Amino acid sequence: MTPPAAPPSAPPAVTLVLGPDELLVERAVDAVVRRARDLDPGTELHTFQASELEGGTLAAAVSPSLFEERRVVVVHGLAEAGEAAVAEVLAALRDPADDVALVLTHRGGARGKKVVDAAKAVGAAVVACDEVRKRGDKLAFVRDEFRRAGGGSRSRIAEDAAEALLESVGGDLRSLAAACSQLASDVDGPVTLAAVRRYYDGRAEVSGFTVADAAVEGRTGDALVALRWALQTGTDPVLVTAAVAGALRSIVRVGSAGRGARAADVGLPPWKLETVRRQARAWSPEALAAAIREVARADVQVKGGEAEPGFAIERAVVAVARLRDAG
């Protein structure tokens, strides 16, 4: 006889979602909401940006309810919170209501750390959402996504297929998750290399940026593999040089703008600004100038119809990756 399922349990009073990866942050918040709604389907969700908190906004959201309505209150962006917002969050942490699950998200870093320390001090459940950078960790993420999909053999992906999927889609977790979901639902049986190639050959809009990110981060091997994949699947060589040049220009803009620059100041989305800041730390002005010259030379050779445009780009990609290491 199958034992009865355990009754749902309430989510923690405070959950601290710590790290910059947007997909993992979303999933951590969704997990708290699902847990609360499993207990009470009528649970309300209130979401705030820390930069918008003022005049007791948060205090009203977390105060005890006359009718004991369960609520999940989410505060995003604590790394960008001003003093008034920090004060509101600290007050909410001191006296949480029994029917409220408070979720705080923080990208990491020193700013807003007072809130992080206070949340940990009251026993917050901490969910790490660190950026997944290593190739091996991204492959592990792909395998985990298929296990999440369930369904016996449908939840497996061959190792060479996982490698090909990473090369085709790129390292962005949201794109990888979407690709895994599609393959898991569409492919009958374990996902093979042939299935991945059938779905994702020719992803030109992704491949150039994959090459660029690997090159400016000094990952020569990854950059060359991505470049060869891009060229084999039909990516225009001009798009590859444009992507690498764009990555270098972004590093120049972010480096010139200083540490206090906002995304709007440098013409980048917030998630991209953090990526470029991390990339920029390894570059010196001299190395950047040399890398830009290498890419410009390759661009001229490609557009001028050099007999082997692939070789010209490969030479530039290797030079950029080595200059990053030297820088």
pLDDT at residue 205 in the model: 46
144 and 161 share a domain? Answer: yes
Q: Are residues 122 and 18 in the same domain?
A: yes
Which of these three, 105, 128, 151, is where a domain ends? 128
Are 272 and 172 within one domain? no
pLDDT tens across the length of the chain (327 residues)? 445 556 678 899 999 999 999 889 999 999 999 999 999 999 999 999 988 887 788 988 888 776 668 899 999 999 888 888 899 999 999 877 888 999 999 998 888 889 999 999 999 999 999 988 888 899 999 999 998 876 554 568 988 888 888 877 777 788 788 888 888 888 888 898 888 877 775 554 446 788 888 899 998 988 888 888 778 767 788 888 988 998 999 899 888 877 667 766 777 766 677 788 888 888 999 999 999 999 999 988 888 766 588 889 999 999 999 998 765
Same domain for 104 and 24, yes or no, is: yes
In this structure, the answer to whether residues 187 and 228 fall within a common structural domain is no
109 within some domain: yes
Domain final residue, candidates 128, 150, 175: 128
0.75 surpassed by pTM = no
- Answer whether residue 1 is part of any domain: no
| Nearest partner of 130 among 109, 113, 114, 147, judged by Cα | 109
pLDDT of residue 204: 42
CATH code of the domain covering residue 256: 1.20.272.10
Are 224 and 314 in contact by the 8 Å Cβ rule? The answer is yes
Show which of 76, 95, 128 is a domain's final residue.
Answer: 128
| Residue 91 within any structural domain of the chain | yes
Give the chain's domain count.
3
Give Rg (Cα) of the chain.
23
Domain that holds residue 228: 204-326
The answer to the question of residue 23 being in a domain is yes
Q: Which pLDDT value is given to residue 327?
A: 58
Q: Which long-range contacts (CB under 8 A, 24 or more apart) does 304-312 make?
A: 309/237, 310/227, 310/231, 310/237, 312/237
Does residue 21 sit in the same domain as residue 116? Answer: yes
Where do we find the tokens 């940990």? 120
Rounded to whole angstroms, the Cα distance separating 211 from 23 reads: 22
In angstroms, what CA-CA distances link 166 with 134, 180, 234? 12, 10, 17
For residue 198, what are the CA distances in angstroms to 65, 164, 165, 187, 192? 54, 11, 11, 11, 10
